[in-house]
């Protein structure tokens, strides 16, 4: 099991940028495909972005493509989500998730085993 702790959320204005971090426990991180999800009030959790264990492959939801960038530092056991040109509709709790021992570059519809507790992002208009 991978322990995940998100940080970096906050209150920003539309058009601002924010970087989320997700710290993972132990070296198992480098064996995991990783993802970011979000859940807005009254809505279902939705996929935001994913990255392969090596960092070579990434995948984005259409709603964030071109604005958000997922990355990872396997030496620091940390996942990132750089968010730019934020919109009020990006307001949500953001969660990181891990899928251990997934070495494929295929990330579509991947199921994740472990989840963080989430960090709130609020974008005001």
pLDDT in tens, 42-70: 999 999 999 999 999 999 999 999 999 99
Q: Which residue has the tokens 């891990």?
A: 98
- Cβ atoms of residues 59 and 50 within 8 Å: yes
pLDDT of residue 21: 98
Residue 111 pLDDT > 90: yes
Contact assessment for residue 123 and residue 68, using Cβ atoms and an 8 Å cutoff: no
30 and 74 Cβ atoms separated by less than 8 Å: yes
Output the six-digit token pair for 84.
């730019």
* Tokens standing for residue 38: 């979000």
Number of residues that this document lists for the chain: 125
Q: What is the pLDDT of residue 26?
A: 80
Question: Tokens at residue 40, please?
Answer: 């807005």
DSSP strands (E only) in 2-125: 4-7, 10-13, 18-24, 32-39, 46-51, 58-60, 68-73, 78-83, 92-100, 114-115, 119-124
Whether the pLDDT of residue 13 is over 90: the answer is yes
């Amino acid at each position: 099991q991978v322990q995940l702790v998100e940080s970096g959320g906050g209150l920003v204005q539309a058009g601002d940028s924010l970087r989320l971090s997700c710290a993972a426990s132990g070296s198992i991180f480098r064996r995991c495909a990783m993802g970011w999800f979000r859940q807005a009030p009254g809505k279902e959790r939705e996929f935001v972005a994913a990255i392969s264990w090596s960092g070579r492959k990434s995948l984005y939801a259409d709603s964030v493509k071109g604005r958000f960038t997922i990355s990872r530092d396997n030496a620091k056991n940390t996942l990132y989500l750089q968010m730019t040109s934020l919109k009020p509709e990006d307001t949500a709790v953001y969660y990181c998730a891990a899928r251990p021992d997934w070495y494929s570059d295929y990330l579509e519809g991947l199921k994740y085993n472990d989840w963080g507790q989430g960090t709130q992002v609020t974008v005001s208009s």
